[in-house]
Amino acid sequence: MIRLDVKKNLAGSGGPFTLSLDLCIEQGTLQTLYGRSGSGKTTLLRILAGLVTPESGCVEVNGATWFDSTRGINLPARKRRIGFVFQDYSLFPTMTIRENLLFAQDIRNTRKVGELLDLIDLGALADRYPSTLSGGQQQRVALARAVLREPEILLLDEPLSALDQKTRVLLQDEILRLHKAFNLTTILVSHDKLEVFKLSDRVAVLETGKIIRSGNTLEVFMNRNTSNKFSFAGTILSIRKADCIYLAVIGSGNELFEAVLTENDMETLRIGDEVLVASKAFNPVVIRLTHTAYDADL
C-alpha cells in the first residue's frame, strides 16, 4: 500500500496553487494520474521519488515512512526503491544497451540482464549503442533499466508521448507485460485517454493540484450520455456483458465512446478490432473494418 498525504506550493500558468491530496494506491495496481499540463502530476511523481520535498504531509510505502514533515523524516532518493522512466529515455550514449542495463544494478547480474533483454525482444541488439536504435527500442531499454532496479514503485512520466501512434500501442503492451511479469506497483502520468483506458486499474484526475475525480476507467471517463448523430472509425478497447446486452468501449483519437452490441455482433467483433460506428438516431451501429497488418520498427 502506498499512501500520499502531501501539500506542495506550485506556480502554474494561471498563478500559484497548492498541490494538496490524499491518495492511497494498493500494491500491484497500475494507477494513472490524468489531467492538464501543470496540474501537479509530475510533481507528485517527483515527491514519491524524493526529488521534490513537500511543504507538509507524509509518504508511506508498504509500511515504511519515506517522508513525514512532523517527525522530520525524509528518506534520500538513493534509498528509495523507485524505477523512473521519462519521455526522453535518458540512456547513456557511450554505453551499449547491455552496459546501460548493467549500470542500473547495485550488484551486477549478467544473467538477469540477458533474461530481461530476451523478454523485451532486444537480446540481438545488446551490444549496440542507443543512437542506433529506434525511439521505441530505446524506450524499451529505459523500461527494462527501471525494472532491473527491482523497484517497489515504477514511475512513468508520459514515457510514450514522443512516439508515433503505432509504436505507442505496442509499447503500451510492453508496459502491461512488465507490470504483470514483475508484479509491480506502477504510477503512470498520461494525457492520452485511450492509453489510460487500456493500461489503468485506477485513474485519478488532477486539476490545479487536487483530485477532482477518481475510480476505474469506466467510472471516470464513461459518465456522460450522448445522442448526437455521428459516424467515426475507432478501436474496440473492451467488451462487457450487462444484463442481456453487451457494451463495447470504443476509442477514437483521444475520445472514448460506449456502444451496445447485439448477440449477432458478438459473433464477429473482438477486442482490438478496428470498427466504424454510425448512428442515425440513438442506437449506434458498429461495423468491423478490414485493415492491413503492419510491421512496427521496435
pLDDT digits (tens, 9 = 90+) for 7-55: 999 988 888 999 999 999 999 999 999 988 889 999 999 999 999 999 9
Residue (of 84, 186, 80) closest to 145 by Cα position: 84
Q: d(Cα 84, Cα 296) in Å, to the nearest integer? A: 25
153-157 and 82-85 strand pairing: parallel
Torsion sign (Cα): 17, 18, 21, 25 = positive
- Consecutive 10-residue runs of the chain (298 residues): their mean pLDDT? 94 89 94 91 94 96 95 94 86 93 87 88 91 91 89 92 83 90 93 88 93 89 55 85 88 83 88 80 65 40
Cβ–Cβ < 8 Å for 189, 117: no
Cβ–Cβ < 8 Å for 35, 206: yes
Residue 285 is predicted with a pLDDT of 72
Q: In a 10 Å sphere around its CB, with 0-12 CB exposed, 13-18 middle and 19+ buried, how is residue 44 labelled?
A: buried
Cβ–Cβ < 8 Å for 237, 197: yes
Residue 295 is predicted with a pLDDT of 38
- Quickly count helices (H) and strands (E) in the chain: 8, 16
Domains of the chain and any CATH numbers: 2-221 (3.40.50.300), 230-288 (2.40.50.100)
Residue 105 is predicted with a pLDDT of 85
Residue 291 is predicted with a pLDDT of 47
